[in-house]
Amino acid sequence: MRDRTWLAAGLCALVAATALSAVSRAAPRFTVKSTSVELPYDETAYPEGPGAEVMNANCASCHSASMVLLQPKLSREQWTGIVRKMRDVYRAPVADEDVPAIIDYLAKLSPR
Amino acid sequence: MDRFDAMMTAPLGRRQMLAGTAAMLAVPAGAQGLVDLRLPGGPSQRPLAGGFPGKGEMIVQRIHPPLLETPMEVFDSDVFTPNDRFFVRWHWSDFPTSVDAGAFRLAVRGRVRRPLSIGLAQLLRMPRVELAAVNQCSGNSRGLFEPRVPGAQWGHGAMGNARWTGVRLRDVLDQAGVLSDAVAVRFAGLDGATVEGAPRFEKALAIDHARDGEVMIAFAMNGEQLPLLNGFPIRLVVPGWYSTYWIKMLSDIEVLSAPDDRYWMAKAYRIPTTPGADIVPGTKDFPTVPIGRMVPRSFVTSLREGQAVPLRPTMPVGGIALGGDRSVARVELSADGGRSWQPTRLGPDHGRYSFRRWDAELPLAGPGPLTLMARCTNDAGEGQPMKAIWNPSGFMRGNVEAVSVEVRADA
């Protein structure tokens, strides 16, 4: 008798759950509210030293300095390839005369 | 700590973050501190900070445009990653910070009979599907590649698992009526290229994949609308495939009669054709294909690297696993460098594309250092290699990962 009561209660719960999920399928209520956010901005400059000015002038508008400063130790050849990609593919407006100073700065980075 | 690390330790304010010389100071009281991702050769420390809209404490890889990583302990609390801790990755900084839900439109165009401009209200009236799926960056764990490779220097937290709710991409394509010469579908979002002439971020799927009934246009994530930083109002969900295809703020679907030959498919996000995308470091001119399906992975999340654990007869060890594009069949645990493996108990099954919890009791022999390894095998029999792969983009890491702890009688 007791078992049957439990079974009945379980069945009721099951029916209720099924009904609920059927309702949510038939008339799903989901509203999407307009969203507006404010993003933090990054004023971090490249660490001072030879070439820092040219880095700040050329490499700060599209991405944070951290993108550069958190890279592992890379070779001059790797950095040269990255600067070329930034200019040729991602169209970074870097003047030809600034390129050597940028590569010098990057090749001297010594991440810990 | 060198000066670069010092720069990264400033707390993030609401409007101004990591500002110039002020950032050179030590971490003030109340700052959320640093996390060490243990990247070989460094730099390894990252700030842990709030301050991003819709986000709690995250590992800050880059503020502008945001690259935010999920701390590993988040994965220990639940197989579903809370929206406010879900990783964030934007390619271009030019994405809208305001989206009007009433004005938003999704275009469906190209090789279709009826080009469409679909509002959110219309999408919400379509038949709905829900799916648990892992969203993982192609370059997740890139910072652990050796030799190191350039790119976002992620630890393991450029991934998350959510219950996605939305509509089938197939249903949307069928409304537009795909023409018989269609071979691919290209997707783009509201984010534009920051510099004129640079390639807008776009990705494409083969038409049969796009129409497989599983690829979804999601408007909800864990039952709530998407955080703006995760692609509000809608994003593509490509179950079992890397996140690069999960276009955020999806606004443009273009059916193509030829494979997509634009930059993000033809030049970027490509992997070597070799098994496991593995090549010898320094190899030049190898053939590549676009990255696609994910591979099995598993992580110990209940213990941190270097943690002291008390000496007991057994130690509980737990974590999460994903099967790639197949179900997790089993997860095994090794405490002897992979010589022997013990089975683990799998938690509830939320479907083949979801994270799956695993737990085990590991017998302890005595005090001393202990290295733990987890290994997932999916239901196609694909496991995880012991040896890490290498490719120059740092994509598709999937080897067995290790966590070392110290068993102490006095801990």
Q: Could you list the beta-strand ranges (E) of B22-172.
A: 34-36, 45-49, 58-62, 67-69, 88-89, 98-99, 105-110, 116-119, 129-136, 159-168
Are residues B379 and B246 both part of a single domain?
A: no
Q: What contacts B21, CB < 8 A, 6 or more positions away?
A: none
Give the range of the structural domain holding residue A87, as residue numbers without chain letter: 52-109
**Hey, are the CB atoms on B7 and A35 less than 8 Å from each other?**
no
pLDDT at residue B27, as a whole number: 36
How many cross-chain Cβ pairs, A to B, lie less than 8 Å apart? 157
Q: Say if residues B65 and B52 touch (Cβ distance below 8 Å).
A: no
Q: Which residues of chain B have a CB within 8 Å of the CB of A70?
A: 4, 8, 43, 46, 61-62, 153
- Is B144 contained in some domain? no
pLDDT at residue A28, as a whole number: 65
- Is A28 contained in some domain? no
Backbone angles phi, psi at B166, to 5 degrees: -175, -150
- Is A93 contained in some domain? yes
pLDDT at residue B28, as a whole number: 35
**Hey, are the CB atoms on A92 and B18 less than 8 Å from each other?**
no
As a whole number of angstroms, the distance between CA B325 and CA B245 comes to: 14
Q: What contacts A9, CB < 8 A, 6 or more positions away?
A: none
Are residues B240 and B311 both part of a single domain?
A: no
Termini Cα distance of chain A:
73
Q: Say if residues B68 and B58 touch (Cβ distance below 8 Å).
A: yes
- Is A85 contained in some domain? yes
Nearest to A71 among B153, B193, B229 (CB): B153
Are residues B319 and B215 both part of a single domain?
A: no
Domain boundary among B205, B239, B271: B271
If you ran DSSP here, which 8-state letter would residue B382 be given? -
What's at B256, amino acid-wise? L
Query: pTM here?
Result: 0.90
As a whole number of angstroms, the distance between CA B148 and CA B249 comes to: 32
- Does A77 reach chain B within 8 Å, measured CB to CB? no
As a whole number of angstroms, the distance between CA B152 and CA B158 comes to: 10
- Relative to beta strand B402-408, strand B308-310 is parallel
- Does A88 reach chain B within 8 Å, measured CB to CB? no
Are residues B257 and B346 both part of a single domain?
A: no
Backbone angles phi, psi at B26, to 5 degrees: -65, 170
Q: Which residues of chain A have a CB within 8 Å of the CB of B218?
A: none
- Is A76 contained in some domain? yes
Q: What is the CATH number of the domain that holds B166?
A: 3.90.420.10
Nearest to B64 among A63, A71, A89 (CB): A63
User: Mind telling me how many Å the CA of A5 is from chain B's nearest CA?
Assistant: 29
Give the range of the structural domain holding residue B397, as residue numbers without chain letter: 295-406
Are residues B219 and B337 both part of a single domain?
A: no
Helix or strand run (H / E) with residue B218: strand B216-221
Residues in chain B with pLDDT < 70? 1-31
- Is A75 contained in some domain? yes
Classified as helix, coil or strand, A23 is helix
pLDDT at residue B40, as a whole number: 97
- Is B75 contained in some domain? no
- Does A35 reach chain B within 8 Å, measured CB to CB? yes
Q: And the tokens for A47? A: 């660490």
pLDDT at residue A112, as a whole number: 53
- Is A34 contained in some domain? no
- Is B31 contained in some domain? no
DSSP B25-60: SPPPTT---EEE---TTS--EEEEE--STT--SEEE
Q: Which residues pair with residue B116 across a beta bridge?
A: B108
As a whole number of angstroms, the distance between CA B56 and CA B49 comes to: 8
Q: And the tokens for B170? A: 């197939």
User: Mind telling me how many Å the CA of A79 is from chain B's nearest CA?
Assistant: 9
User: Mind telling me how many Å the CA of A17 is from chain B's nearest CA?
Assistant: 17
Nearest to B220 among A30, A41, A78 (CB): A30
Nearest to A111 among B4, B46, B53 (CB): B4
User: Mind telling me how many Å the CA of A1 is from chain B's nearest CA?
Assistant: 33
pLDDT at residue A111, as a whole number: 67
Q: What is the CATH number of the domain that holds A72?
A: 1.10.760.10
Number of domains into which chain A is organized? 1
- Is A91 contained in some domain? yes
Domain boundary among B220, B255, B271: B271
Indicate which of B2, B12, B18 best probes the interface with A, i.e. most A CBs within 10 Å of its own CB.
B18
- Is A80 contained in some domain? yes
pLDDT by 10s per residue, chain A, length 112: 344 434 344 444 444 444 344 444 444 689 999 999 999 989 899 999 999 999 999 999 999 999 999 999 999 999 999 999 999 999 999 999 999 999 999 999 976 5
Classified as helix, coil or strand, B22 is helix
Nearest to B150 among A69, A78, A93 (CB): A78
Number of domains into which chain B is organized? 2
Q: What is the CATH number of the domain that holds B397?
A: 2.60.40.650
